Structure 1
């Protein structure tokens, strides 16, 4: 049992205001309670924000900021195996994914921020004005359960690098790995109050962070509905907000693309982490005259996604992270089938018990405007939609409220880029281009605003001041 009974505030593990109340954590593969974390309150948030404000030094220099980030990275490295095991236990990520994508990628993100600090600071001038960049101050961060370490590092490390202090609320569903990360931070040589952790319900702790008058910047990752509420609460306090929200990304495969490669990579992307990825390519757009061929390739690729115990290295698809998410995904599939979608693989039936297991599901004959093609499912569900050419593909790709990620495949990079420029989304992979933890990531439309990762993610935590100098 992983019993965490304290919050991390002002450089120490402390007893919460209501120490008898806890949030239980359930292993989705066994459906058994495996631990708990404190049920924090607004009073705990206030205590953490007070510590963060006291610790904030707007004049902290580059050498010290770089030292803090380097200390975080080195301490985190020592805890990665334990963090990976906790991620598998609390949200069902297959252990091979937990040991690579879930933990090594966040480390690469942190190193990318360190590289930003290694660049010489430049003095910018516009005519007679000198432009300064200063840390925002106290940051409130609210993170989700699907990539618990990645989402925390993508906010905490650039905040610290910029000279900010932070109060973070992890998800209720996968908080244990975040507490383990804060064990690492406790070993890092950080001044008290620079990093603080308060767990608890979103409507209590999340809203207390978002609306706190002494929080300068709120960074949120999660559902579009919850993000809208965070923006509303933070807006009342006139705090800056960055939102990384949902997605319904399109994998656009054009007529002259390598169909086999594009479909296989697309299936792997859609089912990574059980489909519980905001940037997953959950809509595959293929040439109408090769529709049947594409479905055959996709079905064969899906068959290789072994469903099973996430602690088994051979497992490629673990359970849905929670009982509620499992039922939500099943509901999406059932309604799609009732509306006329054709199952190519999978379906809504539980395939293993105990555990919240679904088979990798591919649906054909889907109306691009139907619920299953418009709404974020957040499960192992891929819809395959035919298009009649470039213009039709762009139309379908742009027809959802979201604009987070996607891909374009064509016979040449130049042609793929020309189509990608017409798609309203924040990030696209061109002909299988690799993920870059230093490139800016964020959304258009209802996928949010603001950017994370690399220099652009770092700059989110800086305010701009201009000094008009005498000529």
Structure 2
């Protein structure tokens, strides 16, 4: 059978195991807790894994494969030409997986969803009292703070016409100030903690690096009154919108930087594409010519381009929410992988084979091309 190995740095390692695993082996795993994650940030997956292992060890029906969460061990050494490797995490780790000796030797299929410095772009035509501007503020705040900024579609860069930076800065600070931070079990709290102390240190260090080229206007790396792993929503304003670190460092927390630009669509395209490839970029504009030029300029570098205007914004989900029918993935830094996309998302796990032969045999046995499609 085909082995599908899915890895995640922020989650756990999910491994497809053959039906042949017996109840004794399952019981052995359960007793010795071999499924316990070795990384603390994977602990949130620990209990579901325990429930799965206990259920199977108790004799419940095993169908195709079972998920195990924990250390992947030497599984990469056992992948073959018919297997698949899917990974979600940093670009650095994705490159290490792609370069694994056994993966290279057997040309194992690899699908990577990696870093993405997603950009939200406010076009110069959007008026302050418009529905589009209100959605811009709301969506940026949502995609900064949802999951404490620990999601691949979070907004990391906010492009704003230079003459409107003070206005946007003030409005975002006001909106972020309404976000209550605390125990996420309380519905009043809209911002929870980071996953663990290591992630907290990474985010604080990242804010420090960004602050070398940008001014912190809200939040920062200082401990909060709540203690623990909480980080105040942090907004910065770049002194130089072309500074390398702004387009290379993803701070995986509730952190985003305003990048002033002239209002030129060509400059917006240039700055956004400095990210080296992204999962999604969002544009807020009612100018159809500006929008068309922007889309054509950024599309080669992004898996998804989300467009808001007064005509559509009231019916749109925020850009950080991926619909199942939409492609989720992106070129370059974003990993070059692809997920979802309805039936298209299954292509990675299938082999497309061309059949050549007598039509009188092929059509009744395998179907016509139209029927196959």
Question: Across the two proteins, how many residue pairs are aligned to each other?
Answer: 314
- List alignment gaps of at least 5 residues for structure 2: 17-34, 127-131, 360-373
- List alignment gaps of at least 5 residues for structure 1: 1-55, 57-136, 157-167
Q: TM-score, normalised by structure 2?
A: 0.76
Deviation at 1:422, TM superposition (A): 1.4
Q: TM-score, normalised by structure 1?
A: 0.61
- 1:110-189 → structure 2 map (5 Å cutoff): 137-145=2-10, 172=39, 173-177=41-45, 179-180=47-48, 183=51, 186=55
- 1:91-102 → structure 2 map (5 Å cutoff): none
Deviation at 1:415, TM superposition (A): 4.6
Quick check: 1:169–1:197 contact (8 Å CA) kept in 2? Answer: no
Corresponding position: 1:279 with 2:147:
no
State the match for 1:226 in structure 2: 93
State the match for 1:336 in structure 2: 210
Instruction: Pick which of 291-300 and 302-311 moved more.
Output: 302-311
State the match for 1:399 in structure 2: 274
Judged with a 3 Å threshold, the aligned counterparts in structure 2 of structure 1 residues 171 and 413 are, in CA distance, closer, same or farther, namely: farther
Quick one: which of 422, 432, 450 aligns to 2:337? 450
Deviation at 1:198, TM superposition (A): 4.7
CA RMSD of aligned residues (A): 2.8
Judged with a 3 Å threshold, the aligned counterparts in structure 2 of structure 1 residues 418 and 455 are, in CA distance, closer, same or farther, namely: farther
- 1:276-425 → structure 2 map (5 Å cutoff): 276-337=150-211, 339-368=212-241, 369-388=243-262, 389-412=264-287, 415-423=290-298, 424-425=301-302
What secondary structure does 1:469 align onto?
A: coil
1:357, 1:397 → 2: CA distance?
29
1:325, 1:229 → 2: CA distance?
21
Deviation at 1:249, TM superposition (A): 0.8
Flag the structure with more relative contact order, 1 or 2, with Cα contacts below 8 A and sequence separation at least 6. 1
Judged with a 3 Å threshold, the aligned counterparts in structure 2 of structure 1 residues 269 and 223 are, in CA distance, closer, same or farther, namely: same
Quick check: 2:46–2:69 contact (8 Å CA) kept in 1? Answer: no
Deviation at 1:464, TM superposition (A): 0.9
Judged with a 3 Å threshold, the aligned counterparts in structure 2 of structure 1 residues 444 and 340 are, in CA distance, closer, same or farther, namely: closer
- 1:58-137 → structure 2 map (5 Å cutoff): 137=2
Cα displacement string for residues 359-407 of structure 1 (whole angstroms, at most 9, x for unaligned residues): 1000013433242443111011110011111111111000123322121
Quick check: 2:144–2:233 contact (8 Å CA) kept in 1? Answer: no
Quick check: 1:264–1:297 contact (8 Å CA) kept in 2? Answer: no
Quick check: 2:338–2:345 contact (8 Å CA) kept in 1? Answer: yes
Judged with a 3 Å threshold, the aligned counterparts in structure 2 of structure 1 residues 189 and 387 are, in CA distance, closer, same or farther, namely: farther
Quick check: 1:143–1:169 contact (8 Å CA) kept in 2? Answer: no
State the match for 1:429 in structure 2: 306
What secondary structure does 1:219 align onto?
A: strand
Judged with a 3 Å threshold, the aligned counterparts in structure 2 of structure 1 residues 219 and 395 are, in CA distance, closer, same or farther, namely: same
What secondary structure does 1:441 align onto?
A: strand
Deviation at 1:410, TM superposition (A): 0.6
Cα displacement string for residues 222-244 of structure 1 (whole angstroms, at most 9, x for unaligned residues): 11111111111122332111101
State the match for 2:366 in structure 1: none
1:190, 1:441 → 2: CA distance?
33
1:323, 1:413 → 2: CA distance?
46
Quick one: which of 348, 351, 355 aligns to 1:463? 351
2:61, 2:253 → 1: CA distance?
38
